[in-house]
Amino acid sequence: MRDVAVIGVGMTKWGELWEKSLRTIFTETALLALDDAGVDTIDSMVVGCMSSGLFVGQEHLGSLLSDYLGKNPAPAARVESACSSGGLALRQGFIEVASGLSDVVLVGGVEKMTDVTGCEATYALGTAADQEYEGYHGLTFPALYAMMAVAHMHKYGTTREQLAQVAVKNHLNGSKNPLAQFPFKVSMEAVLSSVLVADPLRILDCSPITDGAAALVLCSLETARKRKKPFVRIVGSGQASDTIALSSRKDFCWIESTQIAAQKALSMAGRKVEDIQLFEVHDCFTIAEIMITEALGLVKKGRGGKAVEDGLTAIGGKFPVNPSGGLKAKGHPVGATGVAQAIEVVKQLRGEAGERQVKGAKRGLTQNMGGTGGSSVVHIFEAD
């Protein structure tokens, strides 16, 4: 297997981009990534997108986006693993370069979510759950995570305030990220008094509906070295699956696919979590970040709430989590999220994260998750 480098990143401002179509949002970010890399020719491209069919009525994205980017006849594929589609695209690109099949691969992620009503968007997102045995009964994604929160609070004594602290922390980080959908702080009081979505989760516990895209250029280490510019290496990649129905899990408080994917990525990198200085994780809901910090082994089972309360996961803490603002403040265009996580880590490792820079960061980890943990993808990056 060959070593793989990230040589270019591209991301534009996320939000409700009513004036832009899916193909435009994607093409803009892909061009930024290609320009950042100083590359014009690619061997192939992989795009993560969860549900363009339900969100904009468009499939066959690989060819559409290759066409609009002016890269035909380069092979192009769209990959899907619900909210971890972006992380999966990165992994597929990594595999393609590592195998030697391609030398330069464009990895992208995109989701255009505001062309449908809120109700239709809730339905589209709900298809990442078991449609026949969860969706049929009127379950929503917030409801599934709310049930995980109720179980975690009951079993470990996690508090409503600790959940809110995740949102407060991530918005503080996001206030320093100009590309974030919500680049502002929120107070504990604002979170605790925001409207209920599925008890105990309130709207400020939830990541938003977002239009956005993100792109990276990957190449072999050999090619990266010839360029004589700084780059970042991908030193570990792991992926795991679990039941998509929450009810089939042994423990509603534990995200096993994340634990296994992280173990695989760490083992490939030959590292422990203590060797990593920043973590971009899938905080689709506040309870998710708490459970992920446990699954990654940053804290013991049940201690995730205490960790955020004690500032362990703040920038400046022992394990900074979501310096970008996370899904919560940066936004969550589902298929783009996993790619944007990697972009934040690359920027941090290149020392280009501005006010939210984690000082002295040499290694970073991304954790991207589909559904309630039915799929997880973890990557580890290292400054060269």
Distance CA 159, CA 99 (A): 46
Q: Considering 152, 282, 332, 379, which one is annotated as catalytic?
A: 332
Rule CB under 8 A: choose which of 126, 174, 208, 304 binds other proteins. Answer: 126
Residues 217-256, one symbol each (x = binds other proteins by CB under 8 A, - = not), give --------------------------x-xxxx---x----
Q: Does 198 bind other proteins (CB under 8 A)?
A: yes
Q: Does 151 bind other proteins (CB under 8 A)?
A: yes
Q: Does 295 bind other proteins (CB under 8 A)?
A: no
Note if 119 is an active site residue: no
State the pairing for strand pair 76-79/44-48. Answer: parallel
CA-based torsion, 206, 212, 218, 224: positive or negative:
negative
Rule CB under 8 A: choose which of 21, 24, 58, 140 binds other proteins. Answer: 140
Q: Does 135 bind other proteins (CB under 8 A)?
A: yes
Nearer to other proteins, 9 or 150 (CB): 150
Q: Does 154 bind other proteins (CB under 8 A)?
A: yes
Note if 206 is an active site residue: no
Amino acid identity of residue 279, one-letter, is F
Footprint (CB under 8 A) of other proteins, residues 317-346: none
User: Radius of gyration (Cα) for the chain, nearest Å?
Assistant: 19
Q: Does 133 bind other proteins (CB under 8 A)?
A: yes
Rule CB under 8 A: choose which of 122, 223, 263, 357 binds other proteins. Answer: 122
Distance CA 163, CA 216 (A): 32
Rule CB under 8 A: choose which of 146, 290, 291, 307 binds other proteins. Answer: 146
Q: Residue 116 half-sphere exposure, CB side, CA atoms within 13 Å?
A: 21
Nearer to other proteins, 368 or 372 (CB): 372
Q: Residue 185 half-sphere exposure, CB side, CA atoms within 13 Å?
A: 6
Nearer to other proteins, 21 or 243 (CB): 243
Which residues lie closer than 8 Å to 107 by C-beta, 6 or more apart? 45, 46, 47, 48, 89, 90, 92, 93, 215, 216, 217, 218, 339
Residue with tokens 């195998």: 99
Q: Does 120 bind other proteins (CB under 8 A)?
A: yes
Q: Nearest 5°: CA angle at 335, between 56 and 171?
A: 110
Q: Does 134 bind other proteins (CB under 8 A)?
A: yes
Nearer to other proteins, 200 or 351 (CB): 200
Nearer to other proteins, 19 or 132 (CB): 132
Token digits for 359?
Answer: 């000082």
Nearer to other proteins, 73 or 138 (CB): 138
Q: Considering 49, 83, 219, 284, which one is annotated as catalytic?
A: 83
The piece of 1-9, 64-72, 139-147, 254-262 that touches other proteins (CB under 8 A) is 139-147
Which residues lie closer than 8 Å to 100 by C-beta, 6 or more apart? 2, 220
Residue with tokens 């998710």: 288
Token digits for 127?
Answer: 């298809």
For the bound state, the minimum distance from the C-beta of residue 116 to other proteins, rounded and expressed in Å, comes to: 10
Which residues lie closer than 8 Å to 322 by C-beta, 6 or more apart? 169, 170, 173, 279, 280, 281, 283, 289, 313, 328
Query: Where would I find the beta strands (DSSP E) of 256-373?
Result: 278-280, 363-370
Q: Does 291 bind other proteins (CB under 8 A)?
A: no
Count of residues touching other proteins (by CB under 8 A): 36
Token digits for 38?
Answer: 């100083």
Q: Give the footprint of other proteins on this chain (CB under 8 A).
A: 118-120, 122-123, 126, 132-140, 142-143, 146-148, 150-151, 154, 195-201, 243, 245-248, 252
Which amino acids are annotated catalytic? 83, 332
